[in-house]
Amino acid sequence: MVPVGNPKSDSMTEKTDVLQGTLALMALKTLDVLGPLHGYGIARRIEQISGDLLAVNQGTLYPVLLKLEQEGAISSEWGASENNRRARFYRLTRLGRKLLETETRDWEQTAAIIARFFAVKAEDLT
């Protein structure tokens, strides 16, 4: 097989990394709130809540799910969905729950700092 590779320019790679990070968090939160769910369900939920973010390229969720699984944050198994079709169900592990807590805290902290920063006016800085 001739090596062809995937031409990604620099800016595109950055965007993908950020997207992956937030996608992982959203997937974890979804599983936390809704309990065990299959891939399609997670995708739909994220789409509903985040609006445009996952309106297209929903397939990018699956590598993210694999990464989370290999990190030990979620576990998966085959199961039967509502209409008795075979689907892979994902579930949050204890490690994943802890991870979610930490990440949520970090996000809130970051958001608070940014908010404070934006609230400061020019005169306050002198």
Partner 1 sequence: MRFLRRFLARLKNFATGRRDDKRLREEMEEHLARQTEENLRAGMNVEEARRQAVMKFGGVGTVREDYHAEQGLPFFENLLQDSRFAIRMLAKSPGFTAIAVLTMALGIGATTAIFSLVDATLLHPLPYPHPEELVRIEDDLPGAGATDAGISIPEFKDLQRSGIFQYVVLEIFGSANLTGVSQPSRMQYEGVSPAYFAMLGVKPELGQTFDPQDQTPGFTLDVVISDGLWKRAFGSDPHIVGRSLRGDNDLYRVIGVMPPGFRDPGRTVGERNTEQWAALNFPDDPAQGPGRSLRLPLETVGRLKPGLTVAAAQSHLDALVASLREQFPGDYPADSKWTVRLVPLKENLVGNVRQSLILLLGAVGLVLLIGCVNVANLLLARASARSREMAVRQALGAARNRLVRQLLTESLLLSLLGGVAGLAIVFCMKGFLLRLIPESLPRLNDLSINWTVMLIALAASIAAGLIFGLAPAKQAGRLDLTTTLRTEGRGSKGSTEQTRTRRVLVVTEFALSLVLMVAAGLLLRSFWDLYKAPLGFNPQHVMSVQLWLPSPNDPKTDIYGTAAQEAVFARELLRRSRLLPGVQEAALGAEPSIPLRHDGNRSALIVEGRQTQGKQPPLVERSQVTPEYFHLLEIPVLRGRLFNDGDNENAPQVAVINQAMAETYWRGEDPLGKRLKLGPGRAGVGQSPSKSWITIVGVIADARTESLADASVPLIYLSLYQETPKELAIFLRGDLNPSAIPEEVRAMVQSVDPELPVYGAQTLNDAVAASLEQRRFSMDIVAAFAVTALLLAALGIYGVISYIVNERTREIGIRLALGAQRGKILAMVLRQGLGLAMAGAALGLVGSVVVSNLMAGLLYGVSPTDLLTFAGVTLMLTAVALAACYIPARRAMRVDPMIALRYE
Pair 104, 53: CB distance under 8 Å = no
Residue placing its CB nearer to partner 1 in the complex, 32 or 60: 60
Residue 12 found at the interface with partner 1 (CB under 8 A): no
Binding part of the chain for partner 1, among 29-37, 52-60, 107-115, 118-126 by CB under 8 A, reads 52-60
Q: Does 115 bind partner 1 (CB under 8 A)?
A: no
Tokens matching residue 80: 């039967």
Residue type, 84: N
Residue placing its CB nearer to partner 1 in the complex, 62 or 112: 62
User: Which is it for the CA torsion 63, 17, 75, 58, positive or negative?
Assistant: negative
Q: Is 46 in the site for partner 1 (CB under 8 A)?
A: no
Q: Which is nearer to partner 1, 71 or 106 (CB)?
A: 71
Q: Does 39 bind partner 1 (CB under 8 A)?
A: yes
Binds partner 1 (CB under 8 A): choice among 22, 53, 75, 88: 88
- Give yes or no for residue 6 binding partner 1 (CB under 8 A): yes
Residues contributing to the site for partner 1 (CB under 8 A): 1-8, 38-40, 43, 55-60, 62-63, 66-67, 70-73, 85-88, 99
